[in-house]
Amino acid sequence: MQRPQDIAIEDFTYELPDERIAKFPIEKRDESKLLLYDKANITHTVFKNLAEQLSEGDLLICNNTKVIQARLLFQKETGAHIEVFCLEPIQPHDYVLTFQTNHECTWKCMIGNASKWKQDIILEKRVVVDGKEIIFKAERGESVGNTYYVRFFWEDENINFASILDAFGVLPIPPYLHRETVERDKVTYQTVYSKIKGSVAAPTAGLHFTPEVFDSLHKKGIDCEEVTLHVGAGTFQPVKSETIGGHQMHSEWICVHRSVIEKIRKAGQVVAVGTTSVRTLESLYYIGCQLAENNQLEERELTVTQWMPYEKAYHLTTEESLDSILRYMEHNHLETISANTQIIIVPGYQFHLVKAIITNFHQPQSTLLLLISAFVGDDWKRIYEYAMKNDFRFLSYGDSSLLKK
């Protein structure tokens, strides 16, 4: 049997003309097309009819992360432009605390034109926040792979980092859109249920939802709950190695409320809205397995590594795994559980929680396309061929699909 690491990425490609990539969203979110796949048939409808395709008792899980204005554009006295792209907080490490900090914080960042920014140079930018001008400064620290630690600091303790990002930062849209961010992206590139700041990319399957869609789901007895996964810049990274084993997955922070785990435990069919929700839900299984083996772990030690699902046979049922998490949370008086996940889902993966996926159409030779193939097998080719022939719009601002196991 082929090892997952030996899967050739060239087997997961298709021709995607640039004109099929949706550069902007359609005017009304829920008027997008919705492809329907249930193994035997492939048809389509419009997204606002989603409730008609699901059953009473189904549980939808959405990722409530909010995209931050993570691109910070500086200019040196020499005229050189430096772009600092905030990836994840280092000090304070907690997302909530780092956004609330009102003096300084350190982030892991990507730096555009890094060769022009030496470590002894402090970049400055005059920023108007809530009508008040401050001098916002950035100091480059050590490098970590292709990223750097950057310390941000400012003198006004009445202004927090979140306010500075809102005033100075630029919303990062996907590079494959080949355009600059425009003002309306601040609204259209967020889901209507986005709440928790931390992502540098939107969970785009959720962009199709409207209050009217949620109302129709509620009327049919379909419950909707939320988890959090802060999407990292690695979601845009192409697979450059010949086999997937040579690709390093990025680590992302996830958080799930105890009441959500209890609902998942009892649900009939769990429907994941987007690949980020899939990765969050499936990571829960392996967190539960870890806790079943060692319930003395501290929460900060909980992590799902990239190849964990394939390196060892885990024999817990889904229910047993979730129960081990719930016992751990009760013992430690936790209302939420958080962890870091690098999980990669490729053909050969056994799904534990997710029975259906709502997802957009992904780039050729991407880890997201591998995840879809893991779920539907070689039928991903039929699905994408149907989408091409029926004028579906592709990628982040494109149309979506409902894939059932």
Domains of the chain from N-terminus onward: 4-66+186-404 (3.40.1780.10), 70-170 (no CATH)
Question: Residue 402 to residues 93, 223, 227, 288, 359: CA-CA distances in angstroms?
Answer: 36, 17, 19, 28, 7
The H or E element containing residue 318 is: helix 318-331
- pTM to 2 decimal places: 0.94
Where b means 16+ CB within 10 Å and e means fewer, 378-391 reads eebeebbebbbeee
C-alpha torsion 29→39→313→326, nearest 10: 40
Chunked mean pLDDT (size 10), the chain, 405 residues:
89 96 97 94 97 96 97 92 95 93 95 90 93 94 92 92 95 93 96 96 97 98 97 79 92 96 94 98 98 94 96 94 98 96 96 98 96 97 98 98 95
- Report the half-sphere exposure of 368 (CA within 13 A, side-chain side): 23
pLDDT score recorded for residue 1: 65
Q: What residues contact residue 139 under an 8 Å CB cut-off, 6+ apart?
A: 119, 122, 123, 150, 151, 153
pLDDT score recorded for residue 133: 93
Closest among 45, 55, 370, 25 to 206, alpha carbons compared: 25
pLDDT score recorded for residue 238: 76
Q: What residues contact residue 193 under an 8 Å CB cut-off, 6+ apart?
A: 62, 64, 206, 209, 226
C-alpha to C-alpha distance for 16 and 379, rounded to whole angstroms: 18
Closest among 316, 227, 225, 303 to 266, alpha carbons compared: 225
pLDDT score recorded for residue 157: 83
Question: Residue 52 to residues 48, 59, 210, 402: CA-CA distances in angstroms?
Answer: 9, 14, 15, 12
Q: What residues contact residue 108 under an 8 Å CB cut-off, 6+ apart?
A: 87, 88, 89, 90, 144, 147, 148, 149, 150
The structure tokens 């899939």 sit at: 278
- What Rg value do the Cα atoms of the chain yield, rounded? 21
pLDDT score recorded for residue 156: 86
C-alpha to C-alpha distance for 210 and 6, rounded to whole angstroms: 41
